[in-house]
A and B are shown apart, each in its own frame.
Chain A
């Protein structure tokens, strides 16, 4: 920071920041660049929703109201029952599959079986769905469609109203299914073997002969 370049108000701001900014540590340069956004400008883009419900807009909806909207706007990709068409994401079911491992089985990670927070469902539909027309839904439509997706997973009733006050309180089945990052999780440090190492170099897999049909949903999906 160059104090000589700062205007007096910048110096005052800088000193205040020095007291108030334990994390950034130093006061910032007062560039005098940019403008203060209006509350309306911030609100127009600030649509994120947190697990504690902060960010949920006023509104309401039921699965019954969401069903026709879902069938019109969502089912073409996600399927009438959330089963997923082609490689599009599966939204429903998959309970008790998270321990499944190839080749005996495979995990089916859906809103019901995997997602820890209902808030994420609202947040994502509101900002990014439907896929070809993101940000086109009203809050009531988002509540209704989200309710229908939760209904497909037997998490809410068909006529149960979801709204700003109760949406974030919905208990998601896999709420406790997540753990912190504990990597490194493989042997670390020490001098690795350089000579006559005891490894079995038998080839047990080859890429070239594989003939997997992608539509069978046996491959991990990128979406």
Chain B
């Protein structure tokens, strides 16, 4: 078990989760520590000039794992959830481990899950998509029917409107996975929704589409027809394979740039109407309460946002020297134009390099070289999208929206790097 030994690494789980899980979840704690990024004690027998053990014996054959899994040393890279956040696991959320991802694609098994009635597991032979309402001819399609139609493939980010929702009042969760992990980015393959709507023929008064899931919650959202005819898709593929059950297998709606709740999973029905339905998820939930007691309705677009994923609370620094600050940026309005990074809390900024490709409504990776002098630092990023919109500070957001609106928190995230190399989620005053 020498590989499990570590030279250092602090307690990186959020305190509240640690309090609740420390007794029974040693494995999870170990997993989190393994992701800390600090140097692990190596076995000198495997280091030069010695031949390592794997160079002196055969490994498993080609078919040992017919569906490949990550190597055991990456077993800590998993989705995590906060048990106290929700009343039950069936109506809950878990989080993408952004701190351990590379590039801009999220592996399918790591895409955050948000269910309202548990994960439906559907036999595609027993699944149908009905399109009806204000159409020339209603239709009922099988999954095979959809696969016979022309397909499209596009990379898009998918972000829950409540991502960073716990951070409105102040710095709350000491983890980038928990503050920003309700986002993923994948290549979706399926049929353009416009193709389907053209096929059934819209009546002149068609203004809205109700999308409904086949799950226990029968998730329903109203989507304006302009968006439905623009870039929405009925997807059956994700990152080259069939959708995972937790992502809506056999088919889900893809609504690029809009809040993930509208990306209805396990899609079974599209009703065309002349007005919105005002369903529970677009009135009681997913509305943004402001300090004057009024709430914004139909706040669909996820505005430009970014976060530094290294360093972060899960990935501390290991002594002064050269590092590459890394992060992710995205905008529901299109491409990321620029990302600036500051290591002094926003007093001075440098423009980071955007790693190609930079695609619209897609996660974009940014990097900035950094020689850390070992002193305390405040690392923060701000995204600018192609509309010229600049990601605001939390102070600017709170001035307008207060702290009780839950959704659409796209404020700048500040990490404090301590002289020890540990990293903490902090909130700055900015102005008085």
Contacts and interface: CB of A to CB of B under 8 A. Distances in A.
Interface stretch (B50-58, B131-139, B317-325): B131-139
A36 B137 contact: yes
Contacts of B122: none
Interface stretch (A59-67, A137-145, A156-164, A211-219): A211-219
Given A189-B389, A201-B378, A179 B278 contact: no
Interface residues of B, number: 121
Contacts of B296: 178-183
B64 to A, nearest CB: 40
Contacts of A23: 202, 204, 206, 225-226, 229
Interface string B1-38: 00000000000001110010000000000000000000
Contacts, number: 315
A34 to B, nearest CB: 4
Interface in A110-140: 111, 114-117, 119-120, 123-124, 127-128, 131, 134-135
A204 B170 contact: yes
B166 A219 contact: yes
Nearest to B393: A199
A138 B130 CA distance: 23
B91 A223 contact: yes
Contacts of A34: 139-142, 145
B303 interface: yes
B201 A13 contact: yes
A208 B392 contact: no
A50 B403 contact: no
B428 A211 contact: no
Given A102-B169, A192-B384, A196-B348, A124 B204 contact: no
Nearest to A99: B293
Contact of B85 (A98, A203, A214): A214
Nearest to B291: A101
A35 to B, nearest CB: 5
A148 B218 CA distance: 23
Contact of A204 (B269, B289, B428): B428
B244 interface: no
A26 B430 CA distance: 52
Contacts of B130: 37, 41-42, 45
A127 B348 contact: no
A171 to B, nearest CB: 15
Contacts of B268: 45
Contact of A21 (B198, B313, B382, B388): B198
Given A188-B389, A201-B428, A220-B406, 14 more contacts: A16-B136, A17-B198, A20-B204, A22-B204, A33-B149, A107-B293, A115-B283, A117-B278, A119-B278, A127-B220, A131-B117, A189-B390, A221-B85, A221-B86
8 contacts: A20-B202, A26-B198, A109-B289, A181-B300, A183-B301, A214-B85, A220-B165, A222-B91
Top 8 A-B residue pairs of the complex, sorted by shortest distance between their CB atoms: A28-B198, A205-B427, A205-B170, A201-B345, A214-B84, A207-B425, A207-B174, A87-B87
